[in-house]
Amino acid sequence: MSKGKIREEEIRRIIRADDEWEPVGPTPMPSLTDLRNWDFRLLDTYEPFYAPFCDLCCLCTFGKCDLTEDKKGACGIDIATQQARWILICSLMGTAAHGAHGRHMIDHLIEKYGEDFKIDLGSQVNVEAPIIRTVTGLKPKNLGDLRKAIEYVEREMIHLVSATHMGQEGNYRDFESKAFHAGTLDHVALEAADIAQIVGYGLPTSIADTPLVDLGWGAIDVKKPTIVVVGHNAITAYAIVDYLRQHDLYDKVEVAGLCCTAHDVTRYDSSAKIIGPLSRQRFFLKAGLADVVVTDEQCVITDIPQMASEAGAAMVACSDKISYGLEEVSAKPVDDILREMLENQKQFLILDSEKAAEVIVRAALALAPLRQERKKLMTKEEASLLSAKCRGTCETCNRACPNLLPVNLAINQARQGDFTKLGSVFLRCIGCAKCEEACVNNIPIQKVMQAAAASDTYKIRAGRGPIHDVEIRKVGSPIVLGTIPGVILFAGCSNFPGDIDDVAWLAEELARRKYIVNLSGCAAMAAAMRKDEDGKTIYEKYIPEFDAGCIVNVGSCISNAHVVGAAIKIANIFATLPNRANFELMADYIINRVGACGVVWGPYSQKALCIGTGAVRWGIPIVLGPHGSKYRRLFMSKKEASDWRVMDGRTKQRVDTQEPTPEHMMLVTETKERALVTIIKQCFRRNDTPPGRAIKLNSYISAYKQVMGSLPDDLQNFIRTEKEIPIVYKREVIAYLKEVGWKPKISLSLPTLIGTYETKVPIEATVK
């Protein structure tokens, strides 16, 4: 439904429209259809490519319906629309996960400090919430304003969920538009959640050089009572650290984390440890090194209670999203809870974070002296005995492995006392345990890996949070002109296709070529798990600033918002374009002028899909690792055959640039080498100056030659004039261009999509 006058007045009141920090743009708190024309303009060039797992629809009792070829379901839906509906459903899962996280964090902090608690991100950050400002039109001043942002997300989600019901939306483009909207809401939630915990818990902000912290399961001092927190919402983890500090226990107890809670607890206290990404959850917990396992929410393996029980560890769940059927005991006295945990090995759900912290710490102190024998890893002799059950011929484990690792060969060699191959398999293992589940001889393969697993300790920067305004002022011009070739974000999960250190290789290759490299979440952890010949990780080698040739860990999954926010800040701070309720203007600037690219090399979760879908709406292309094909939808152009017409913002004439930039908006690459050249290519922008395009082409050609051994076979698509050919490759490239019949292309100084579709944004708004 369109907004009525009452709703428009309500929005103006919520966002304090009379505050004159910027005029209110055309789309404050946009509804499902307010940005639909922008979405359709993107889809005109980047048509969805679907690869469904199943040709049936089973969502209602009319089904199962066969949607093969041109068949339709009983409700009239076709295969493309059904697939787009599934994308929206998955995107909403991601939005709901981050939105609920933000709601929980903000409500908790309002209970603690009140809704008037001020947002202050330090002297280096004045544009505190670029996404919330752009999407909603609200400039958040306090925790109460962040709650308004989450309430907007919740309101819109109701309508999006309703569209997935049988007999609702019936067009794949409209489903994709709604998925874009879910992604936009997700980014609002991400930003609100991270700002809340930064101001509420004093996490780093306005600081680039954050501490180096220890990463790796070998960094854990298991002689101490060991608490392991797993998940993404660190409220209980913060309470554990507070309890240890208050009782002078911090140096006597080890606090370590898996997944994004690990990032955030090390942002809170740099002496905490990061065990690793999601792919290390099962291995570490089966090893029994934790005295108490604590779960909160998101990307938590669902059989943790069983693993904790088998390891003789205590286990406490702390989120109403993951309750495991456990008794909720927040109202019980701590001593009673502890008695049942220690004497009867009971596991509990405790939603009171402070009570949970006391129970967890006291349980760890009590259990640790009793569990030292349980903390010993499996020896090679024990592993060989277990491996002896392998017949060595069925290879069921190999077939079950998503990455087709040689598990069978590794276990067979371990049976004979050679653990080299098993150590290699461990480094590439994503921790799904499908091999173990498939094994006909019930060999505990994950436990056998203990005898071969490397226990190296690595260094990673604690997440730094927002990109500073002064950094944007420094890099804005060279990014827009193209002389800084691009801004890269490695985000997402640890479902990697190969070695876990591939992300580090990619990040360093790009940093060496003067890209601004940012990392978050599991990708940031994986990037630390590679050392050079001097024993240093990329976080020890590279400056942690938002600048050319630097490498930045922004933090956990919710910290992804700060890199999208940096792209908006370039338009707002450097180009001085107003961002208040001005989504289309910001997104148009990004897709045409800001060479940004997101990379999800180990895609796994619905959250990562949603984050990526939201980024596409902002005009930021996404490169996925091979498992990204299982998301079942990409956004790909037809290269030179697609619609590359834009408006010349100066002459207000429509121009066919014949230049496919960005070439695609979401695509899969199969190898790290192909990913490298694809990432570089996705940073080309129509606004690149000739010197800037020459720098980008130099990176593209040099990388392509390095990993593919030849010139790229599509240079003719991206060279507009001979001035842009890098001098070192000029003779070779000119010969190639003559061979393929290249012709010069138009180069514009103010390209814009505004004016190529129906919009409330005047083309004059693109000129400042």
Residue 155 lies in a domain: yes
Polymer length of the chain: 768
At 444-471, the pLDDT tens digits run 998 899 888 878 899 999 999 999 999 9
* Residue-wise burial string across 612-623, b where 16 or more C-beta atoms lie within 10 A, e elsewhere: bbbbbbbbbbbb
**Do 362 and 406 belong to one domain?**
no
pLDDT, position 229: 98
Q: For residue 736, is it within any domain? A: no
User: Which among 288, 301, 284, 214 has a CA at the least distance from the CA of 453?
Assistant: 284
Q: 355 with 319, same domain? A: yes
Same domain, 392 and 342: no
Strand partners, 349: 317, 328
* Gap between the Cα atoms of 335 and 358, Å rounded: 10
- With respect to residue 677, please indicate whether it lies within any of the assigned structural domains: no
pTM of structure: 0.96
* The pLDDT of residue 450: 87
Using CA atoms, how far apart are residues 262 and 238, in angstroms rounded to an integer?
11
Task: Report if residue 684 sits inside a domain.
Answer: no
Residue 345 has pLDDT above 90, yes or no: yes
pLDDT in tens, 413-453: 999 999 999 988 988 888 899 999 999 999 999 889 988 88
Query: For residue 228, what are the domain limits?
Result: 217-370
Cα–Cα distances in angstroms (integers) from residue 597 to residues 188, 585, 666, in the given order: 19, 19, 10
Q: Per-residue pLDDT tens for 695-752?
A: 999 999 999 999 999 999 999 999 999 999 999 999 999 999 999 999 999 989 899 9
Alpha helices in 368-428 (DSSP H): 380-387, 396-400, 407-415, 420-428
Are 260 and 315 found together in one domain? yes
Among residues 147, 168, 201, which one ends one of the domains?
Answer: 201
Q: 27 in a domain, yes or no?
A: yes
| One domain for residues 162 and 308 | no
Percentage with pLDDT > 90 across the chain: 89
101 and 249 together in one domain: no
Tokens 């514009």 sit on residue: 748
The pLDDT of residue 456 is 86
**Per-residue H/E/C for 658-699:** CCCCCCEEEEECCCHHHHHHHHHHHCCCCCCCHHHHHHHHHH
Radius of gyration for the chain, computed over Cα atoms and rounded to the nearest angstrom: 26
Which has the closest alpha carbon to 519: 498, 538, 497? Answer: 538
pLDDT at 736: 97
* Domain end point (choices 420, 451, 482): 451
Structure confidence by residue, pLDDT tens digits, 571-585: 999 999 999 999 999
pLDDT of 2 above 70: no
Separation CA 640–CA 191 (nearest Å): 37
Least confident of 88-92, 399-403, 520-524, 706-710: 399-403
Count of structural domains within the chain: 3
| pLDDT over 60 at 1, yes or no | no
With cut-offs at 50, 70 and 90, classify the pLDDT of residue 641. Answer: confident
Same domain, 29 and 101: yes
What HEC string does 324-371 produce?
Answer: CCCEECCCCCHHHHHHHHHHHCCCEECCCHHHHHHHHHHHHHHHHHHC
Q: Assess whether 156 and 291 both reside in one domain.
A: no
Each residue's pLDDT tens digit, 494-546:
999 988 889 999 999 999 999 999 999 999 999 999 999 999 999 999 999 99
Q: DSSP class of residue 722? A: G
Q: Alpha carbon 421 to chain centroid distance?
A: 31
Tokens for 81? 């629309």
Q: Which of 451, 477, 498 is the C-terminal boundary of a domain?
A: 451
Number of H helices, E strands in the chain: 28, 22
Which pair of structure tokens corresponds to residue 754?
């505004």
CATH code (residue 324): 3.40.50.2030
**Residue % of the chain over a pLDDT of 70:** 100
Same domain? 366 vs 251: yes
Report residue 644's pLDDT band, with 50, 70 and 90 as the boundaries.
Answer: very high
Tell me what the pLDDT averaged over the chain comes to.
95
Contacts (Cβ under 8 Å, ≥6 apart) of 356: 236, 239, 294, 316, 318, 330, 350
Q: What is the mean pLDDT of residues 50-56?
A: 92
Please tell me whether residues 364 and 386 are part of one structural domain: no
What is the pLDDT averaged over residues 589-599?
97
In a domain, 263, yes or no: yes
Same domain, 27 and 93: yes
* CATH number for position 181: 1.20.1270
Cα gap 156→88, rounded to integer Å: 13
Confidence at residue 499, expressed as pLDDT on a 0 to 100 scale = 84
Instruction: Report yes or no on 186 lying in a domain.
Output: yes
Assigned token pair, 269 = 């206290």
Bridge partners of residue 654, in order along the sequence: 647
Same domain, yes or no, for 386 and 409? yes
Q: What is the pLDDT of residue 23?
A: 96
Q: Tens digit of pLDDT for each residue in 54-71?
A: 999 999 999 899 999 999
pLDDT tier for residue 376 given thresholds of 50, 70 and 90: confident
Q: What amino acid occupies position 20?
A: E
- 626, part of any domain: no
Residue 642 has pLDDT above 80, yes or no: yes
- Tell me, what amino acid is at 246? Q
